Amino acid sequence: MKQIKWWEIFLVVAVVIFVAVSINSEEEVTQNPNIPKIIEPEDMYEGYPFLNKDGNYAKLDEKSTLTMKTEITDELVIRGYYSLFPLYASFAYAAYPEDTYGDYGTCNGKVYALASGDSGTHESPDIAFALGVDGKGISSAHERENMTLVAKEALVFHTSAENEMGNITTEQIKQIYNGDVVKWEELGIDGEYIIAYQRDGNTQTMLNQFIDGISFTSPPREEYDFHGRERIKIADYRNHKGAIGYSYRYMTHDLVNKGKMKLLSVDGIAPTEENIRSGKYPFTVEVYAATRDAKKYKAEVYEAIAEFIEWMQGEQAQQLVTKTGYVSLY
């Protein structure tokens, strides 16, 4: 029987380690199409970024108690964050008269989603739907506007259902994204390197709202095709066992409902509807309908807007909040 030499054992061990590290490498994970990812808003809502009769909006079980006048809705401009589009589109669909919108392409283009990075060339909105904290929108464009609370949301931290992590502290979040903690074992969790996904746009801004002093390390990146040209962007979250990411709760429903991903408790508080509604969850976010000062509207338009926003806070609109997937006020 051939005697196994020490260097043969060493070679086998080295190969195993190399394969394990390769499989868990950032590049392997971020480029692997077989690892499911969170669907971005542009993918979720592509095909109906404007109000139209065929949109897949949440709908009331009964007739709306509010029906706005066509002469008002024809000139009313409503827009908001892409991720909030299904919510305010459902409001408009319920309260607008049927002759306001038609087939896609001929619909009322004055209710639409504003993609992140938009140059701001669109009409100034009469009602803008925004995310914020403590009565103030995270965008400077909303800081001086009247903010009316219409729903609740949450910034959530998520990982694969295979990951042992169930709770994370605010300090650990900071350590991960500062680059001070790079392995799961440093947090007492079985696993190799942490793949800490980041976001751009208002999600990143929101995280900075809650945690001061994060000095973000370089995020995972991936290639994408832009009109036949290869470009590099911040990688979309891929649900690998070693990954952690953050997003708005609404965007995580698909993978959570399929049992592939889980939301982490933060400082011992789970992001449940009850904890978000009460504000107990530490990363609770507010959804606002932002308006300008009354003197900047025609009297009849301002009166209609005030009535519309009051309806948004009522029972029917709050049913639409729940059906859409956000958290109602009560």
pLDDT, one tens digit per residue, over 12-27 is 555 444 444 444 556 6
Contact 195, 244 (CB under 8 A): yes
Tell me if 1 is assigned to some domain.
Answer: no
104 and 161 together in one domain = no
Q: CA-CA distance, 131 to 58, in Å (whole number)?
A: 20
User: Number of structural domains, the chain?
Assistant: 2
Give domain status of residue 85, yes or no. Answer: yes
With 0-12 / 13-18 / 19 or more C-beta atoms within 10 angstroms meaning exposed / middle / buried, residue 300 is exposed
Question: Are residues 192 and 302 located together in one domain of the fold?
Answer: no
Task: Give ∠ CA 48-49-52 in degrees, rounded to 5.
Answer: 55
Residue 180 has pLDDT above 60, yes or no: yes
Are residue 231 and residue 158 in the same domain, yes or no?
Answer: yes
Whether residue 93 is found in the same domain as residue 196? no
- Please give the DSSP secondary-structure letter assigned to residue 280: -
User: Do residues 55 and 159 share a domain?
Assistant: no
Domain that residue 241 falls in:
154-278
Residues 273 and 296 in one domain: no
Contact of 94 with 61, CB cutoff 8 Å: no
Asked if the structure places residue 23 within a domain, the reply is no
The CATH number of whichever domain residue 220 belongs to comes to 3.40.190.10
Counting Cα atoms < 13 Å in the Cβ hemisphere of 292 gives: 14
Residues 112 and 176 placed together within one structural domain of the fold: no
Q: Rounded to whole angstroms, what are the CA distances from 14 to 6, 8, 20?
A: 12, 10, 10
Whole-number CA gyration radius for the chain: 23
Same domain for 114 and 79? yes
Confidence of residue 263 (pLDDT cuts 50, 70, 90): very high
pLDDT, average across residues 283-307: 94
Establish if 36 belongs to a structural domain. no
Mean pLDDT of 289-303: 92
Least confident of 16-30, 42-56, 63-77, 261-275: 16-30
Look at residue 23 in the predicted model and tell me its pLDDT: 45
Rounded Cα–Cα distance for residues 100 and 108 (Å)? 6
Token readout for 167 is: 């709770």
Specify whether 52 is located in the same domain as 120: yes
How much is the pLDDT for 160?
Answer: 96
Is residue 48 predicted with pLDDT exceeding 90?
no
For residues 99 and 204, membership in a common domain is answered with no
Asked if 280 and 270 touch (Cβ cutoff 8 Å), the reply is no
Whether residue 265 is contained in a domain is answered as yes
Q: Has residue 264 been placed in a domain?
A: yes
The verdict on residue 249 lying in a domain is: yes
| Shared domain check, 99 and 76 | yes
What's the pLDDT at 26?
Answer: 64
Query: What mean pLDDT do residues 61-68 have?
Result: 96
